[in-house]
């Protein structure tokens, strides 16, 4: 098949703007902590630049790699994904940081298997839903195989533990099943069962229960369980309309935890104000619109599902991150795509964008 169109330059431009913006904000939000811990204010910036370079290389490669050929490697990707998800749980292989085994690597070079699992699930779901399109309304032939793979993947990630990533993959699966035309009654039942399991997982882990209760009223314990949410709201409130100025955040001075990752949107709101926050939301809205447009006009089912999966994955991460920072949902670790610090997340997300851009080269209609 010959290319019919150039890649979607709106998606490309939006991603590059968010990437450049993110690099600036990573440095602005992390310089104080980087100097305090590593005696190098550029510590996080340099690593983010390396990840951005690798991610852009991956994006360009996949932008020119015929997306339907990914189907050939469905089983290989799935096996590789499970090998990493199991390996990270093994002491000596998986790195334990803050009571969680989420990374594999040596020294400062680490990989998060859960990030690879997100892309792996998009590929698996796209291939499976295309293959089982005629049986998608059948529970045993269509829904059950997807449910089993999703459950095993989420289960391995929960063991790390990394509940937010498991919930994200579960939500992604539900979105793609809905788009594929799965039985609504069955999906609602599964959604209810999934919600019940999440509640159970929250109850059995005291720290998760504390987070949930603090979300209901963070001001009740502003020095304890509600600290993160309160500090995030302080940052957003201090920003006002135009912000306190780039690099002038006060909350990054050891008040706000993980300012360069899980709470970077709060730093954006503090330094660049309401207008800066709206700018980020607008750019993501444009990306999501163009991504779903690509899914709508893709020439085959596999392309439609891949575009839907990639766009939904990035959209859900964006929505969860903003919801956490604005105290619209309980605190959980979720990076802001293209902007938050994180090598694995940034590199793999840009690779996903490359696949999406390749799909846009075959759109049936403008």
pLDDT exceeds 60 at position 139:
yes
Nearest partner of 158 among 225, 214, 88, judged by Cα:
88
pLDDT bin (cut points 50, 70, 90) of residue 22 is very high
Answer yes or no: are the C-beta atoms of 270 and 250 closer than 8 Å.
yes
pLDDT digits (tens, 9 = 90+) for 211-266: 777 777 888 778 877 888 999 999 999 999 999 999 999 999 988 888 999 999 99
pLDDT exceeds 80 at position 31:
yes
Mean pLDDT throughout 153-164? 89
pLDDT bin (cut points 50, 70, 90) of residue 97 is confident
Spatial distance between the Cα atoms of 157 and 62, rounded to a whole number of angstroms:
27
pLDDT bin (cut points 50, 70, 90) of residue 357 is very high
Structure tokens at 313: 């994955």
Percent of the chain with pLDDT over 90: 64
pLDDT bin (cut points 50, 70, 90) of residue 24 is very high
pLDDT exceeds 70 at position 3:
no
Spatial distance between the Cα atoms of 288 and 146, rounded to a whole number of angstroms:
25
158: number of Cβ within 10 Å: 17
Spatial distance between the Cα atoms of 332 and 288, rounded to a whole number of angstroms:
23
pLDDT exceeds 80 at position 17:
yes
204: number of Cβ within 10 Å: 9
Mean pLDDT throughout 147-153? 93
pLDDT bin (cut points 50, 70, 90) of residue 19 is very high
Predicted local distance difference test score (pLDDT) of residue 2: 55
β strands within the chain, DSSP E: 94-97, 100-106, 109-111
Spatial distance between the Cα atoms of 114 and 92, rounded to a whole number of angstroms:
18
Structure tokens at 9: 């330059």
Answer yes or no: are the C-beta atoms of 73 and 82 closer than 8 Å.
no
Indicate the domain borders of the chain: 9-360
Mean pLDDT throughout 33-42? 91
Structure tokens at 334: 């979720």
Contacts of 205 (CB under 8 A, 6+ apart): 161
Taken in order 327, 310, 288, 269, is the CA torsion positive or negative? positive
Least confident range from 34-43, 61-70, 327-336, 344-353: namely 327-336
Contacts of 176 (CB under 8 A, 6+ apart): 125, 126, 129, 305, 308, 309, 312
- pTM value is 0.93
Predicted local distance difference test score (pLDDT) of residue 214: 76
Predicted local distance difference test score (pLDDT) of residue 220: 79
pLDDT bin (cut points 50, 70, 90) of residue 340 is very high
Taken in order 14, 302, 295, 323, is the CA torsion positive or negative? negative
Nearest partner of 52 among 358, 357, 340, judged by Cα:
340
Predicted local distance difference test score (pLDDT) of residue 201: 77
207: number of Cβ within 10 Å: 11
Predicted local distance difference test score (pLDDT) of residue 108: 64
Phi, psi at 105, each rounded to 5°? 165, -175
Taken in order 323, 110, 169, 74, is the CA torsion positive or negative? positive
Residue in this structure with the two tokens 């699966």, named with its chain if needed: 173
Predicted local distance difference test score (pLDDT) of residue 107: 61
Average pLDDT taken over every residue of the chain = 90
* Alpha carbon of residue 51 to chain centroid: 15
Answer yes or no: are the C-beta atoms of 65 and 358 closer than 8 Å.
yes
pLDDT bin (cut points 50, 70, 90) of residue 8 is very high
Mean pLDDT throughout 287-307? 95
């Amino acid at each position: 098949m010959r290319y019919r169109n150039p890649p979607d330059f709106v998606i490309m431009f939006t991603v590059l703007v968010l990437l450049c913006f993110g690099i600036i904000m990573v440095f602005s939000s992390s310089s104080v902590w980087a100097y305090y811990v590593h005696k190098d204010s550029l510590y996080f910036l340099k690593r983010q630049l390396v990840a951005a370079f690798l991610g852009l290389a991956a994006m360009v490669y996949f932008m020119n790699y015929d997306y339907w050929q990914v189907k050939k490697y469905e089983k290989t990707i799935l096996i590789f994904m499970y090998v990493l998800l199991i390996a990270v749980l093994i002491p000596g292989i998986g790195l334990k940081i803050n009571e969680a085994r989420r990374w594999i690597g040596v020294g400062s070079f680490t990989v998060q298997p859960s990030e690879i699992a997100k892309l792996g699930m998009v590929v698996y779901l796209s291939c499976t839903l295309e293959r089982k399109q005629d049986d998608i309304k059948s529970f045993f032939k269509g829904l059950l195989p997807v449910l089993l793979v999703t459950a095993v993947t989420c289960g391995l990630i929960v063991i790390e533990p990394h509940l937010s990533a498991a919930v994200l993959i579960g939500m992604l699966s539900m979105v793609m099943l809905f788009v594929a035309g799965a039985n609504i009654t069955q999906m609602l039942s599964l959604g209810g069962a999934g919600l019940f399991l999440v509640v159970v997982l929250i109850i059995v882990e005291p720290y998760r229960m504390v987070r949930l209760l603090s979300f209901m009223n963070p001001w009740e314990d502003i020095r304890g369980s509600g600290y993160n949410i309160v500090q995030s709201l302080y940052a957003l409130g201090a920003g006002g309309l135009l912000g306190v100025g780039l690099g002038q955040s006060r909350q990054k001075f050891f008040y706000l935890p993980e300012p360069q990752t899980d709470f970077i949107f709060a730093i954006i709101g503090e330094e660049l104000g309401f207008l800066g926050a709206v700018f980020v939301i607008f750019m993501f809205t444009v990306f999501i619109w163009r991504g779903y447009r690509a899914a709508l006009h893709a020439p085959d089912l596999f392309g439609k599902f891949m575009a839907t999966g990639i766009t939904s994955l990035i959209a859900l991460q964006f929505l969860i991150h903003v919801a956490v920072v604005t105290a619209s949902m309980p605190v959980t670790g979720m990076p802001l795509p293209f902007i938050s610090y994180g090598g694995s997340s940034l590199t793999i997300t840009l690779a996903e964008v490359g696949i999406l851009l390749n799909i846009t080269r075959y759109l049936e209609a403008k």
